[in-house]
A = this chain, B = another copy of it.
Amino acid sequence: MQGMTELLKGVLEGAVLQLIHDRGETYGYEITQTLNQLGFEDIVEGTVYTLLLRLERKGLVNVEKRKSQLGPARKFYRLTATGETARSAFWQKWAFLVTQLANLKPTNEPDVTNKEA
C-alpha cells in the first residue's frame, strides 16, 4: 500500500517480534516472505535485515547461524526474555493507540477494510 512508511515506524518491529515468537525460531528471509504474504507487500529484504540487526544490538533476540541445504547459511533468531517483554509491551502500546484513534475517528467515515472497492 502507498505511503505506509511513516505509519509502519515501530509497528514493523512489533510485528517481527511477534513472528519470531510464533515460529519460536526463524530467519530473515522467511520473515520477509511471511510479512509479504500477510499483506505487507512492500517490505523488502533490506528493511527486515536492518531491523533484525537492530533487535540483536538491543538484546531482544539471540542469533544462531546454521547451514541450509538449499542456499547460504541462515541466521536463526529467537526472542530473549527482554525480547518477550518488548513484544508484550508492543501490543499494549498498540492497543492504546488503537483506542485513542477510535475516539478521534469519525463514525461516518467509510471505514474501508476490504481491499476491493
Contacts and interface: CB of A to CB of B under 8 A. Distances in A.
Summarize A's interface: helix, strand, loop or mixed. Answer: helix
B95 A98 contact: no
A68 interface: no
- What is the copy number of this chain in the assembly? 2
A101 B15 contact: yes
Contact of A40 (B6, B13, B89, B100): B100
Interface of A: 1, 3-11, 13-15, 18-19, 21-22, 38-40, 88-89, 91-101, 103-106, 109-113
A109 B19 CA distance: 14
Contacts of A109: 88, 91
A111 B109 CA distance: 25
